[in-house]
Structure 1
Amino acid sequence: MKEYSLGIDNFGKDVREGTNILFTAPPLSGKNAFSRNFFYQGLKDNEGCVYVTTTEETNSILKWFKENKEVDLDEFEGHFGIVDCVTKSQELSEIKGKSIKYASNPGDLTDIGVKISSFLKDFYKSDDLDGIRLIIDTISVILMYSNVKTVFRFLHTFSGRIRSTDAVALYILEEGDHDRKTIQTLKQLVDLSLEAEESEGNRMIKFSGQINSDWLKYAVNNNNMKIIS
């Protein structure tokens, strides 16, 4: 059975194939670093990785990897896809490349879904990859355009596909932007929930579901997440 590394330093636990993960965390909690390290871990593990961005344009993401990982994502051509939901809506300059697809805006779930599916289909058909990852960063922006029932149906389609293709998916949710009912509704789709908070000046994270833990102290150093207790 395939296992997927979360890319968290000093944690040592992987997740099973077919796992859907929801990470709920407040601003400045390191969830941005976690989602991108999760993506980069997949590239290092010879997996096909789809990164859906609803907050930053592609150029910003490529720059992040050059500055924080000293890597040009072009080195992984054919192993990743970016679905950019920002560039067109903000009328920014597009970067051409077969690894980049542009959705019209974060609220066009049909367009986003078609582009995600295109990448997933290509990766699933490839004999050269050892797994598939999907990252949606963030669902919170999508929820600004659509109601929770619509977003639930959208994610339900992909969570089922993740299970049936032995892939893994990570969905990022901004804590404080949604009521408890919305969060609980989305949790029905996943096998593992991560929650982050700040307590007495410490960053804490908790795992529930496929992996269970007490609150663990963590740090984000050089844009890497590390468990420190």
Structure 2
Amino acid sequence: MLEDAPLSLDDGGGGKSLLIAGPPMTGKYDLMLRLLADAGERGVLITTGDPAERVRSDYADVAGVDPESVGIVDCVSKQRGGDLLEDDLVRYASSPKNVTDIGMKFTDLYEVFRDFDVPVGVGIHSLSELLMYLDPQDVYQFVRVLTRQVQSEGWTTVAVIGSTMHDEQTLHTMYEPFDTVINTREQDGARELRVRERQQASTAWTTF
């Protein structure tokens, strides 16, 4: 799906953790979905801004799978009230403020998806929502534990952060737990990305 970009999850990509960082309207969410679809046969997404049904449908459309096969940790619907989906693969955290509860709900789904014995892509959309409520160190610790948990199964994590919403110190704190940082931008009407692996220089900007 990303043939023209300097980024591939094939050939040993399992177990990687990637953070997509960029301004609004630069394709971060769509890129996350595409990378997750490449990363595994199944998907589990932690959504901090949109309800389970929407995120599940978006991922299923990109991956070409049944929406009901997608695992979701929904961090917003309980807080907003209203009807909740009754589903074996949807878990509802109390709010984006409670990373302990989010982590517990994710671990619950993690145990379920381990039994499928297939590669899984885990998405977090987005860290910026968590940082609206929480100290960067708390979000950092949550991400560090989660990425290690996911990596222990050889699965891939793809998270998103809005680069213009946070200061440089916060951004660099969020970069640290990830193997790869993907920056996005819009240039002359085209969406572009560049990739920086840990301890390496960034690639050139490439359209995607």
Q: Which TM-score tier does this pair reach, normalised by the shorter chain? A: 0.7 to 0.9
Matched, 1:17 2:24: no
Distance 2:151 2:61 in 1: 34
Q: Aligned to 2:78, what secondary structure does the other structure show?
A: coil
- CA shift in 2, pair 1:71/1:121, >3 Å: closer
Counterpart selection for 1:57 from 47, 51, 69: 51
Alignment TM-score, normalising by the size of structure 2: 0.87
Distance 1:213 1:150, change over 3 A: same
* 1:117 corresponding residue in structure 2: 107
The question of whether the paired residues in 1 share the 8 Å contact of 2:34 and 2:62 is answered with no
- Summarize the Cα distance change of 1:214–1:50 in structure 2 as closer, same or farther, 3 Å threshold: same
2:207 to 184, 195, 217: 217
Mapping of residues 193-208 of structure 1, within 5 Å:
193-208=181-196
CA distance in 2, matches of 1:208, 1:121: 31
Specify which of 87, 95, 98 is matched with residue 85 of structure 2: 95
Query: Which ranges in structure 1 are unaligned for 5 or more consecutive residues?
Result: 1-6, 219-229
CA distance in 1, matches of 2:151, 2:59: 29
TM-score, structure 1 as length reference: 0.79
Selected match of 2:144 from 144, 150, 156: 156
Rounded to whole Å, the distance in 1 between the matches of 2:62 and 2:148 is 33
**Whole-angstrom CA distance in 2 between matches of 1:137 and 1:158:** 14
SS at match of 1:14: coil
Q: In 1, Cα distance between the equivalents of 2:191 and 2:143?
A: 29
1:8 CA drift (Å): 2.5
Partner AA of 2:32 in structure 1: S
SS at match of 1:82: strand
Instruction: State whether residues 65 and 72 of structure 1, in contact with CA within 8 Å, keep that contact through their aligned partners in structure 2.
Output: no
What's the counterpart of residue 32 of structure 1? 29
Root-mean-square deviation over aligned CA pairs: 2.3
Question: Is 1:133 equivalent to 2:127 in the alignment?
Answer: no
Look up the match of 1:222: none
Q: Which has the higher strand share?
A: 1
* Aligned-pair CA distance for 1:63: 4.5
Give the partner amino acid of 2:189: G
Q: How far has the Cα of 1:105 moved from its partner?
A: 0.6
Aligned residues: 203
